[in-house]
A and B are shown apart, each in its own frame.
Chain A
Amino acid sequence: MNSFSEYMGKVKAEEELKIKTESYVRTAFSSAERHKKAADSGPKFRRKKFVFNNALTAVSAVAVCLILTLCGRAYYHTPVNYLCLDINPSVELGINAFGRVVSILAYNEDGFSLLRDNQYVNLSVVDAVGTLVHNAMKQGFISGDGSTVIAVTAESNREKAAAQLQSSGDSAANSTLSAGGISAIVYSDCTDLQFRKQAQDAGISPGKLRLILILQTLDQSIAIEDYKNAKMTDIITKANELLTRSGSGLENGKDAEILQKIRSAAQQVQAAYAKGEQEQNRSGAQNQNQGSGEQEQNQGPNDSGTQNQVQNQGSETKQQIQSQSPDTGQQAQNQSVGTGQQQTRTPEEQTQNQLQGGDESAFSPNKGQTTGTQSGDRETVQDDGGGSQTSSATENGTPTSGNGSSSGTSSGNGKSGK
């Protein structure tokens, strides 16, 4: 293997290769040393960088979270659809993309009073409409006769969303009314957001404006201001009246469906009015009957009571008259008796006075005679000729008239006594 060693001995590294390698190694080694030094003295640096990186990441994460939260919040609180409720309180609910109420708007004073509690935000459409209708019932905006029209108007640029909103509002209003035991007419409709802007410019709710515009179509002389604060019931009734007057020609137009709805609602209103009137008449009649029955019932015992009292009084009077000397004149007798009666007024007489309305004249001696006449000493009084009057007064029926008659009778008797 000597020749192998000799040959391998000839293999030497060229100078050029050495120089290149030296240069390469110096450069790479110094660079590596720098990195190594940096690495050796690097825990602090690395830690600082690590901390910086961590802080940067944390700040970025917080910023992203904040941006997402703000965007989400803004998106949540932005209404995309609206639902308008008109009774006469006209209110509008702003509905966000998640179907929650995010804004409320009142179009008139009644609307403000309805929204005073501000308990509608973040509620679902069904709950919000239910609460609104419930509050309207509580505050008396919905009459009990069933003639009140509640207009639910969905406002959206998307037909599907509008239809869904209209259906939700309609069903919520109906279910709340049925739960509250009050009947009302729910008129539902839908419009686009452009119409909403037009209504806002006019300062009126979109649902109401839509119906007023229909009224204007039917009658050019009607102004928006005329019906701005009108109840929906009145607008519907007016619309039906105009529709009836103008005939069926309008129903062939594009608003045929709305006109049909209006007509239907107006018919329900009329039916409710008619039913209310019938009930009122019926209850009036019942009241009259009940009143007269009560009077009759009251009259019987009163008459008998009065009669009893009168009988007692009569007997006393009679006794008084009998105890007076026959020498005194009739007038003097009457005066003395009257004075005596006034001075010696017994509790029974006071009660009688109360029953007879507290008329002092009722305690006149003539009255005493009259009552004596009524008390059944008819035979005695019949001689004076006042008994027929007294009996006729008693036949008149009512206690008051009886008293009046008896006072009249007494004066007659007094005259006759003269």
Chain B
Amino acid sequence: MRDVAIIGLGITKFGELWDKSFRQLTAEAGSKAIFDAGIGGKEIDAMYIGSMSSGRFIGQEHVGALVADASGFSHLHIPSTRVEGACASGGLAVREGYLSIASGMNDIVVVGGIEKMSDVGANAATEILMTASDQEWEAFFGATFPGIYAMIATKHMHDYGTTKEQLAQVAVKNHANGALNPNAQYQREIKLEQVLNTTTVAYPLGLLDCSPITDGAASIVLCAANKAKEYTDKPVKIIASGQASDTLSLHGRREICTLDSTVNAAKKAYKQANLSPKDIDLAEVHDCYTIAEICAIEDLGFVEKGQGGKAIENKITTLDGILPINTSGGLKAKGHPIGATGVAQIVEIALQLREEADKRQVNDAKIGLAQNVGGSGATCTVHIMEAI
């Protein structure tokens, strides 16, 4: 296996981008990453595109080739492949790009992630997102993702004494970080009372416990590590890539407060990197709902199972805490364009390791981790990165 480095980063503004199409977003993020890497189209060996449901959101499938075309590369006939794993589509695309270079097949790969969600209404978006659940056992019976994560939350509250206030503090923290991120959908701080007093979506989750519907795209350029310095002075090495699966339905799980896909993907990643959770300086985790961040920091081994809520309350994960989590604002404040999220997490970690995160820069960040979850935990990718 060859070492792989990130040499280019590109991301669009996240939000309700009424005046930008899928094509424009992907071209914008891709061209920023390619420009950042200083490469030309002819140097690209392959492209991998994470997109969850372009067919349902905008009526367009076959987006692997479309993204290459929109990027102006159709005449170069670059192999471009779409990767789908629900909300983990972006993380999977990064992993496919990583594997193709690590295997020796390719030297330079562009990875993109995109979702254009605001072309449909809220009801349609909820229905589309539920295609990531188990249709026969969950969706057909009326479950929605807020409901599924609410079940995880109530069980977590019951088993470990986690409180609604602790859940709310995740949103408060991530909005504080989002306020420092010029690409975030919500660049404003919110107060604990606001989170606690919003309309209940599915108890105990209120409106501000939930990540929003977002348009956006992100892109990275990967390169064989031994060639990375030819393109950039600040390559970021991907030192581990873990992936794991689990049951699609929540009720099929061994235990619903633990995402075994995260536990297993992390285990593989720590082993590959020869690191333990205490070696991680910062992480981007999949906070699609506030409870998801609490489970994530437990399942990644940063805190003991059941101690996630207390860790949030004790400010361990704030920007100036011991282990900053979701410095970008996370899915909650930065936004959650499904297919783009996993790639955007890598962009944030790489920016931090390159010390280019401006007002939200974490001091002495050397090793960062990104955890991207599909559905309620049926798919998970964990990537660990290091500044070199």
Do A and B share a complex?
A: no
